[in-house]
Amino acid sequence: MSVMAFDRPRVLSGIQPTAGSFHLGNYLGAVRQWVALQESHDAFYMVVDLHAITVPQDPAELRDNTRLAVAQLLAAGLDPDRCTLFVQSHVPEHAQLGWVMNCLTGFGEASRMTQFKDKSAKQGADRATVGLFTYPILQVADILLYQANAVPVGEDQRQHIELTRDLAERFNGRFGETFTIPAPYIVKETAKIYDLQDPTAKMSKSAPSPKGLVNLLDEPKVSAKKIKSAVTDTDTVIRFDEKEKPGVSNLLTIYATLTGTAVPELEHRYEGKGYGALKTDLAEVFVEWVTPFRERTQEYLGDQETLDSILAKGAEKARAVAAETLAKTYERMGLLPAKH
Ligand code: ATP
Ligand code: LTN
C-alpha cells in the first residue's frame, strides 16, 4: 500500500457474482464510480460471494461467476495497484463481524429492509432463508470493517447504508468510538438506470423479461437491438424529463454518461430528429464501448494465474485492515482475548 493511502479518505463497495454478466445499471450506477474513486481514495472493492449464497447457487457456477466478476471489474478499469480488489469469503472477518452486527440489530429493524421484502416476495416468502434476511447486516460488517468514509453504490442500496450508519453509531455509543460513520456515495444522474422496456422499473438481472436488460457480456448485436427497441413515448421531442418522458430520459442518461456529453448538448444535437436517430446512435455508442470491454474481460479470464495472484494480494491487504477492526471490536465488547 502506498504511503499516500493513509492520507486519503477510504471507500469500500461490493458487487455480487450472481449473474454471469454485469448489466448497464451495475456499471453506470456503481462500477464506473469505483474506477474514478481509485484515483482519489484509498479504495477497497470486493466480489461479495457470501452475499450471493443468500439465494441458492450452483457451486461450479458460483466459482465461475466469481472469477468472471473479477475479470469484468478489471476490464472496467480497476487497477490492482491503485485499489484493493478481493473476494469477500477470502477475508473471514466479514462473517465474524457480521455475527456481532446481527447481535446489535433489532428484529423489527431488520424486518424493515425493503430489499429483503422484494427479494423474498420474488422467491416465495416461505423459501427465503435467514441468510437473505440478515443480508443487509453482513453488508454493514463489510463496510465497518474497513472504516470506510464513503460507499459508492446505486440508489437501491441507500437504506443499507443508513442501517450501517445506525449500527455504527449504536456501537460507538455503547462501547466507545470504534467505527467510522460512512456516507453513501450515490451519483444522482446514474443512481438508477431503468429497464429499457419498463422505464419506471430499475434495470435488474431479475427483471420479469430480459428484453429491457442490457448485459455487458451479451453479443453486442443483441444489446444493440434491445436499445433500438427501447420503449419511449408517443411524442417525438427529445427532451430530458423523467416524469413525462422516462424512457427518453433514461436513454439520454446512458448516452451522456457513456460519451461524456452533457444532456442539454444531446437535446440540442437531436432537435428535430426522431427517437429512431437517438436509439440508432446510442446503439452504436454502446457497441463501440462494450466491444473492447468484452475483449478485455476474456483476456483477464484467460489468465487465471494472474487473476488468482491479484486476489491473493488483495485478500492479504484487506485482511490486515479487517483483522485490526475486528480485534478492536471484540476487545471493546468484552470478548476475552485468546492467549497464544
Ligand atoms: P440486481 O438488481 O440486478 O439484482 P443488485 O442490486 O441486487 O442487482 P448487485 O448486482 O450486486 O446487486 O449490484 C451492484 C451494484 O449495482 C450496486 O451498487 C447497485 O446499487 C448497483 N445497481 C444495480 N442495478 C442498478 C441500476 N439499475 N441502476 C443503478 N445502479 C444499479
Ligand atoms: N448489497 C450490495 C452488495 C454489497 C455491498 C457491500 C455494497 C455487499 N456488501 C458493501 C457496498 C458495500 C448490492 O449491490 N446488492
What separation in Å is there between the alpha carbon of 218 and the centre of ligand 1? 18
Question: Which residues partner with 184 through β-bridges?
Answer: 151
Residue that is written with C-alpha cell 450452483 in the block: 58
- 114 Cβ below 6 A of ligand 1: no
Residue 299 has pLDDT above 90, yes or no: yes
Q: Whose CA is nearest to atom 12 of ligand 2?
A: 13
Would residue 205 show up in a list of annotated catalytic residues for this protein? yes
Per residue in 4-58, pLDDT (tens digit) is: 556 899 999 999 999 999 999 999 999 999 999 999 999 999 999 999 999 999 9
Q: Which of 119, 211, 313, 328 is catalytic?
A: 119
Question: Which residues partner with 83 through β-bridges?
Answer: 43
pTM over cut 0.75: yes
Tell me which of 13, 18, 26, 143 to substitute to probe ligand 1's pocket, judged by most ligand atoms within 8 Å of the beta carbon. 26
- 202 Cβ below 6 A of ligand 1: yes
> What pLDDT is recorded for position 121?
83
Protein residues with CB under 6 Å of any ligand 2 atom: 12-16, 48, 51, 139, 142-143, 151, 153, 157, 160
> What pLDDT is recorded for position 126?
81
Tell me the average pLDDT of the chain. Answer: 96
Per residue in 259-285, pLDDT (tens digit) is: 999 999 999 999 999 999 999 999 999
Of all ligands present, the nearest one to the C-alpha of 155 is 1
Would residue 192 show up in a list of annotated catalytic residues for this protein? no
What separation in Å is there between the alpha carbon of 318 and the centre of ligand 1? 23
Query: How much is the average pLDDT of 197-208?
Result: 94
> What pLDDT is recorded for position 265?
98
Which atom of ligand 1 lies nearest, measured to the CA of 48? 11
Q: d(Cα 133, Cα 128) in Å, to the nearest integer? A: 8
Per residue in 183-202, pLDDT (tens digit) is: 999 999 999 999 999 999 99
In SS3 terms, 4-58 reads as: HHHHCCEEEEEECCCCCCCEHHHHHHHHHHHHHHCCCCEEEEEECHHHHCCCCCC
Confidence of residue 116 (pLDDT cuts 50, 70, 90): confident
What separation in Å is there between the alpha carbon of 340 and the centre of ligand 1? 43
- Would you say 66 and 17 are in contact if contact means Cβ atoms under 8 Å apart? yes
> What pLDDT is recorded for position 118?
84
- Percent over 70 (pLDDT), the chain: 98
DSSP string, 226-261: HHHT----S------BTTTBHHHHHHHHHHHHHHT-
- Would you say 326 and 145 are in contact if contact means Cβ atoms under 8 Å apart? yes
Per residue in 49-104, pLDDT (tens digit) is: 999 999 999 999 999 999 999 999 999 999 999 999 999 999 999 999 999 999 99
Q: Which of 117, 188, 205, 221 is catalytic?
A: 205
Which atom of ligand 2 lies nearest, measured to the CA of 152? 11
Q: Whose CA is nearest to atom 26 of ligand 1?
A: 25
Q: d(Cα 121, Cα 125) in Å, to the nearest integer? A: 5
> What pLDDT is recorded for position 2?
46
Q: Whose CA is nearest to atom 8 of ligand 1?
A: 204
Backbone phi, psi, residue 225, to 5°: -65, -40
> What pLDDT is recorded for position 1?
47
Would residue 228 show up in a list of annotated catalytic residues for this protein? no
Of all ligands present, the nearest one to the C-alpha of 254 is 1
Q: Count of residues for the chain?
A: 340
| CA-to-CA separations, 328 to 11, 178, 332, 334, in angstroms, rounded | 20, 7, 6, 10
Query: How much is the average pLDDT of 207-213?
Result: 94
What separation in Å is there between the alpha carbon of 12 and the centre of ligand 2? 9
> What pLDDT is recorded for position 3?
46
Query: How much is the average pLDDT of 283-302?
Result: 98
Rounded to the nearest 5 percent, the helix, strand and coil shares of the chain are: 60, 10, 30
3-class DSSP assignment, residue 151: strand
DSSP string, 79-114: -TTTEEEEEGGGSTHHHHHHHHHHTTS-HHHHHT-H
Per residue in 155-174, pLDDT (tens digit) is: 999 999 999 999 999 999 99
What separation in Å is there between the alpha carbon of 324 and the centre of ligand 1? 30
Question: Which residues partner with 251 through β-bridges?
Answer: none
